[in-house]
Amino acid sequence: MFNVGADVIGTAKKGAGEKTKAAIFETALELFRRGGFEVTTMRDIARSAKVATGAAYYYFPSKEAIVAAYYDQVQVLHAEKVRLELGGKAGLRERLGVAMHSKLEILKDDRKFLGALFRYTGDPDHPLSVFGKGTQAQRSQSVAIFQEAIAGTDLSEALRQLLPWVLWLAHLGMILVFIYDETEGQQRTHRLADGILDLLTQFIVLTSSALVRPFVQPWQTKILGMLREAGWTGET
- Cβ-based neighbour number of residue 126 at 10 Å: 17
Binding mask 75-114 for a second copy (x = CB under 8 A): ---------------------------------------x
CB 60 within 8 A of CB 24: yes
Q: Does 177 bind a second copy (CB under 8 A)?
A: yes
CB of 195 to a second copy, least distance (A): 4
51 binds, among a second copy, DNA, none (CB under 5 to 8 A by kind): DNA
Among 28, 29, 31, 55, binds DNA (CB under 7 A): 55
Nearest CB to a second copy, comparing residues 55 and 64? 64
Cα torsion through 224, 227, 229, 230, rounded to 10: 170
236 binds, among a second copy, DNA, none (CB under 5 to 8 A by kind): none
Stretch in the footprint of DNA (CB under 7 A) among 53-61, 112-120, 135-143, 224-232: 53-61
CA distance 38 to 175: 19
CB 138 within 8 A of CB 71: yes
Give the list of residues 6+ apart from residue 219 with CB closer than 8 angstroms, or none.
207
CB 153 within 8 A of CB 92: yes
Binding mask 124-163 for a second copy (x = CB under 8 A): x------x--------------------------------
* Radius of gyration, CA atoms only, the chain: 21
Q: Does 17 bind DNA (CB under 7 A)?
A: yes
Nearest CB to a second copy, comparing residues 10 and 231? 231
Q: Does 211 bind DNA (CB under 7 A)?
A: no
CB 130 within 8 A of CB 118: yes
179 binds, among a second copy, DNA, none (CB under 5 to 8 A by kind): a second copy
Among 7, 10, 88, 230, binds DNA (CB under 7 A): 10
Class of residue 132 by CB neighbours under 10 A (exposed 0-12, middle 13-18, buried 19+): middle
Q: Does 188 bind a second copy (CB under 8 A)?
A: yes
Give the list of residues 6+ apart from residue 12 with CB closer than 8 angstroms, or none.
none
Q: Following DSSP, what letter does each residue of 101-144 receive, concatenated?
A: HHHHHHHTT-HHHHGGGGTTTT-TTSTT-TTSGGGHHHHHHHHH
Binding site for a second copy (CB under 8 A): 38, 114-119, 121-124, 131, 176-177, 179-180, 188, 191-192, 195-196, 198-199, 202, 212, 215, 219, 222-223, 225-226, 229-231
Binding site for DNA (CB under 7 A): 1, 3-4, 6, 8-18, 20, 38, 40-43, 50-55, 57-58, 61-64
